């Protein structure tokens, strides 16, 4: 069966990488696990071996979904788009998420996860290596993506996956990252502040805050002083703790 370019399908074939990815989720027998984009079920096999209480797979490709139903009769198979289906599934308080994520939906998917009433306690995803580096970056290499993720989770870059392990071979390397949900995720104001600060990455963060939130430059600088942030700081130098401080003052 050929991969569909329109769905960004590149199937991971290395059993060693599949095993390590599944193990990173730390599956327990009472867990509910959601897998995004199971494809032919290569990773699903390793997830089943962990004996979770519930295993839910979301597959957008209808032909693959039919194949998976036959191959794994004991799991719950949802044929649809994970960007839409995740918001409709009833899940327990402590659930886990895993998947090989198409590069073009990574940012959108992470935003959806962060906005769920009950985000997963553990997320393990295989994404483009460059994106994995951006997600796990700290100042002075912070980005809007890393700041938004750190509002609700602690990211960890686990390991790289060379492009040769995929079929068809993509044009970029990949990496596996984990996101562990924080006990106290940031309030909604945090994410608004992050978007404002990173609205124009090449400008000073105080100017971005002023323009995005329609407050005076003087007021923005006072907020920076209150949070111990340099008035000349660029967005990539702002930590998630500083974003949280600003959000509490706005």
Domain co-membership, 153 together with 204? no
Question: How much is the pLDDT for 10?
Answer: 81
Domain count, the chain: 2
Determine the structural domain holding residue 208 and report its residue range. 188-249
- Alpha-carbon distance of 15 to 123, in angstroms, equals 20
Quick: pLDDT tens for 214-234: 999 999 999 999 999 999 999
Domain co-membership, 214 together with 165? no
Say whether 12 sits in a helix, a strand or coil.
strand
For residue 203, the domain's CATH number is 1.10.8
Q: Are 141 and 200 in contact (CB under 8 A)?
A: no
- Give the pair of three-digit tokens for residue 5: 């370019």
pTM of the model: 0.91
- Alpha-carbon distance of 12 to 101, in angstroms, equals 11
Quick: pLDDT tens for 20-60: 999 999 999 899 999 999 999 999 999 999 999 999 999 99
- Alpha-carbon distance of 189 to 176, in angstroms, equals 29
> Which of 130, 165, 181 lies at the terminal end of a domain, its last residue?
181
> Which of 125, 151, 181 lies at the terminal end of a domain, its last residue?
181
Domain co-membership, 88 together with 143? yes
Domain co-membership, 154 together with 222? no
Quick: pLDDT tens for 158-182: 999 999 999 899 999 999 999 999 9
- Alpha-carbon distance of 156 to 160, in angstroms, equals 12
What residue ranges in the chain does DSSP mark as E strands?
11-12, 32-36, 54-59, 76-79, 95-100, 122-128, 153-161, 166-167, 174-181
Domain co-membership, 204 together with 226? yes
For residue 119, the domain's CATH number is 3.40.50.150
> Which of 181, 210, 238 lies at the terminal end of a domain, its last residue?
181
For the chain, what's the residue count? 250
């Amino acid at each position: 069966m050929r991969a569909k370019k329109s769905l960004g399908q590149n199937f991971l074939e290395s059993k060693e990488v599949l095993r390590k990815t599944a193990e990173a989720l730390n599956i327990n027998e009472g867990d509910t696990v959601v897998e995004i984009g199971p494809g032919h079920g290569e990773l699903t096999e390793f997830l089943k071996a962990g004996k979770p209480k519930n295993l839910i797979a979301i597959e957008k490709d209808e032909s693959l979904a039919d194949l998976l139903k036959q191959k794994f009769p004991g799991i719950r198979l949802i044929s649809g788009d994970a960007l839409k289906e995740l918001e409709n599934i009833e899940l327990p308080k402590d659930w886990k998420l895993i998947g090989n994520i198409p590069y073009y939906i990574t940012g959108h998917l992470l935003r959806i996860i962060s906005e769920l009433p009950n985000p997963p306690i553990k997320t393990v995803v295989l994404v483009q290596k460059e994106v994995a580096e951006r997600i796990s970056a700290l100042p002075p290499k912070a980005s809007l993506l890393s700041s938004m993720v750190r509002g609700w989770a602690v990211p960890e870059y686990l390991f790289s996956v060379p492009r040769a392990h995929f079929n068809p071979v993509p044009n970029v390397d990949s990496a596996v990252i984990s996101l562990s949900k924080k006990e106290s995720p940031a309030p909604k104001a945090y994410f608004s502040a992050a978007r404002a600060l990173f609205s124009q990455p090449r400008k000073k963060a105080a100017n971005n805050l002023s323009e995005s939130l329609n407050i005076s430059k003087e007021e923005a600088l006072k907020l920076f002083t209150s949070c111990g942030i340099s008035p000349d700081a660029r967005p990539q130098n702002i930590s998630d703790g500083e974003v949280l401080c600003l959000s509490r003052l706005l």
